[in-house]
Structure 1
Amino acid sequence: MSGRAVGSPGTRELAEAERLVAERGVDAVRPSAELVRAVVRRHTGPMERARARMLAEVGGSDDVWDWVACLVRPWTDHLAALGSPTWIARFGARVVADPALRQVLLDEALDAEPVRRVVEGLNRCLPALPVPVYLERGAMTRHLVLHMCAERERALAVRAPTARASWDDTAAGLISAIVGLWLAPVSTAGA
């Protein structure tokens, strides 16, 4: 007897929905908000456990690098652990581009306690950033991580060359770039 609710998708159905959205797009599949939530939840558990372990290690660090690593590494480590092919990064990239489903994905992915703790740690390291700049750089960070992982995932699926040799190397590149993004001077142009 299955432990899932009647009518709720099982692991096989979620994996298939994830693959179809990743390969064909939201318009071709028309996933419901609940299906998006279920697919995202299928992956958040392992990532949040890894993030919680990392948070225990970084403690009250005042180094932006530590907090960015806590955002990036659980995601890339999870993708590496899944093996190839994977579809979750491409699924996320497709869903985040859809105005009707974007907030569902963000709410599910960013609502976990470990993510909130990482954001708080990052906030402590960057108190001088004006709120609009902080919000903008947060959005840039999400897009950079999601789309770079989706691009690598896509390349691996078709056995195309990738910019980095491994998910670990991909994480290192993302962390470096994102730390630079967060620590960049604040432009006053157009302000």
Structure 2
Amino acid sequence: MPALPLASQRTAGDRASGELSSTLRRNVENLRNRRKQETRTARFEDRLADAITAFTGSMRSVYLHLVVYGAWITWNLLPGVPHFDPTFVILAMEASVEAIFLSTFVLISQNRASAAADKRDDLDLHINLLTEHELTRLIQMATAIAEKLEVRTGTEEEIPDITKDVAPEAVLDEIEQQNRKG
């Protein structure tokens, strides 16, 4: 019988294919499909802003600017050639206009990313609240079973606190109140 590789010797492919449950795989696939669908249904203007932001945030954009601006500056400094922008006023104006547009595209993309992050935060909160509710009910059931079987766990004094339902608005109020104090 061949020896199984140690966990540290497994490849990333082995870990990716063998260690995820079918539920996790399904969730990953569903999230990937959801992102694809959101990308497909995004407005043209948003997709354009994202594409421009992606390009201008790349090294290809840096290289392109180095070539264009380097050539512009070199041409206008070389002696014996007609200079079309000897004081670099046109270059400065072009760079300023480009900066205005690029900053707008970046802000549009950041707004979209922020909206997506807000949606993920809301989902996380809802899942956490659901998990807390389900755990509270499980603790109540386990406590009832322990009482029925007359089993003492040593944690009986904690049960009233940990089986209280959490009101998220009360937690937020308490956090805000503590932040004002400190």
**TM-score, with structure 1 as normaliser:** 0.23
Choose 1 or 2 for highest CA Rg: 2
Structure with more of its chain in helix, by fraction:
2
Higher relative contact order (CA 8 A, sep 6+): 1
TM-score (norm 2): 0.23
